[in-house]
Amino acid sequence: MTMLVVGNWKLHGDWHSNAERLAALHGHGAVVPGVTLAVCVPMPYLQQAQQALQNGAVAWGAQDVSAHATGAYTGEVSAAMLKEFGARFAIVGHSERRQYHGESNETVAAKARAALAGGVVPIVCVGESLQQRQAQQTEAVVLAQLEPVLQALQQDAGRMVLAYEPIWAIGTGQTATAEQAQAVHAVLRARLQQDGASSVPVLYGGSVNPGNASALLAQPDIDGALVGGASLVAEDFLAIVQAAATPTGH
Ligand code: 13P
């Protein structure tokens, strides 16, 4: 299976630093066989990403998408609008949006459906808090997050991307061990399989860096990475891409 490595820039960047980072990726992106590479940039910079990356091997996308196609929804951006700027992906249901913007599992499911309807691949994020992990609720939490998405997408579920991002590993430098991540990925894969969607790429996210990427990506059910902080440094991001190109478990 092709590996997928996606950078999530979050609320970082400006025109000048973006230009440097995009140029570095554009220069290297074409030469990594077996790996699809993408960056999810803040909305205003989609066109900058499009201009810098077009006709290359690096795809781009957004970090959110509206659940609505059109209408009186101030501040929202539809999938069709993203598509006009060449976006291939939209992250949906990141824990930071669930936490700070009150997005429910049902909202996330509606956004995933709207993304696909508009021709954009949703990267649906699931993940448990530290408290939930300590209470042995990890499996129940991620499955409860996934369920409404599968129901909303029905036979299109196979067209999404799923990302497991344990909240306690995001931005903390405390990554899940390869074994911890693989265990959750296997649960997610089994659930996807029930709906005939076992080929959905399941990415791991949470403090992925050049030092830990190989071990994580070598796991049989880890099909790529969703990278936050390390995606802001082109050489670190490209080192992770390189690790994805030579996994041992796939
Ligand atoms: P970090 O890689 O900075 O931990 O962020 C992970 C993440 O949230 C990617 O979506």
pLDDT tens digit string along 6-17? Answer: 999 999 999 999
Task: Please report the pLDDT score of residue 31 as a whole number.
Answer: 65
**pTM, to two decimals:** 0.97
Ligand 1 binding residues, C-beta < 6 A? 8, 94, 165, 170-171, 205-208, 226-230
Reference 114, options 145, 153, 142; nearest CA is 153
* Ligand 1 center to 169 CA (angstroms): 8
16 three-state secondary structure: helix
Task: Please report the pLDDT score of residue 173 as a whole number.
Answer: 86
* Ligand 1 center to 71 CA (angstroms): 32
Does residue 223 carry a pLDDT above 70? yes
Active site residue ranges: 94, 165
| Average confidence score pLDDT of the chain | 95
List pLDDT tens digits, range 43-83. Answer: 999 999 999 999 999 999 999 999 999 999 999 999 999 99
CA-derived radius of gyration, the chain = 17
Tokens standing for 157?
């579920």
> Which atom of ligand 1 is found nearest the CA of 207?
4
Tokens standing for 231?
């995606």
Reference 4, options 40, 35, 39; nearest CA is 35
> Which atom of ligand 1 is found nearest the CA of 230?
2
> Which atom of ligand 1 is found nearest the CA of 94?
10
